[in-house]
Structure formats: structure tokens, C-alpha cells
Amino acid sequence: MIVTDRIEINPKVMMGKPVIRGTRIPVELILRKLGEGATQADLLDAYPRLTPEDIQSAIRYAADTLAHEEILVTAHGNTP
């Protein structure tokens, strides 16, 4: 399934995790590396098939996914 023009989900690729289309580079990996302090240039050097647009698409995909996430809170304020 193509989620965006650059992100796809295919059960046969990386166990169905969202990846950059046409690669085996998971969105999660890009976000994790950025969160650890990697720069866009670091990612582009480490993953030659990656483009700046792919990185931006991964960030947008994550933001959109979180925007639609529902969090359930119990009466005691703890999540189940």
C-alpha cells in the first residue's frame, strides 16, 4: 500500500513497517537517527538512495500518524 508518494507499507518488506518507497529504509530508522542527533547530511551519506524529500516525508508521515492517534485515559489517569 502506498501511503504517500514516498512512503509505502508492504507486508513483504521489513515485516510491513512503513518504509521509503522502493527501499528497505524504515521511517522509524530515519526518525530514530534524527532523534539521536544525526543531521540530514549524515543520513544522506549513510543511505545513498535516500533524498532530502524522503526525510521530510518521513517526518510528515510520523506527525500525521501521531495526529490521528487516540490515547485512552482511565479514571485514575493511567493509560491501559
21-73: per-residue pLDDT in tens?
999 999 999 999 999 999 999 999 999 999 999 999 999 999 999 988 787 78
Answer yes or no: is pLDDT of 20 > 60: yes
| pLDDT score, position 78 | 60
Q: What is the pLDDT confidence band of residue 15, given thresholds at 50, 70 and 90?
A: very high
* CB contact set of 5 (below 8 Å; sequence gap of 6+): 21, 57
Q: Taking a C-beta distance cutoff of 8 angstroms, is the pair 70, 77 a contact?
A: no
Q: Are strands 19-20 and 7-8 parallel, antiparallel or unpaired?
A: antiparallel
Q: Tell me the domains of the chain and their CATH numbers.
A: 7-67 (1.10.10.10)
pTM over 0.85: no
* CB contact set of 52 (below 8 Å; sequence gap of 6+): 40, 44
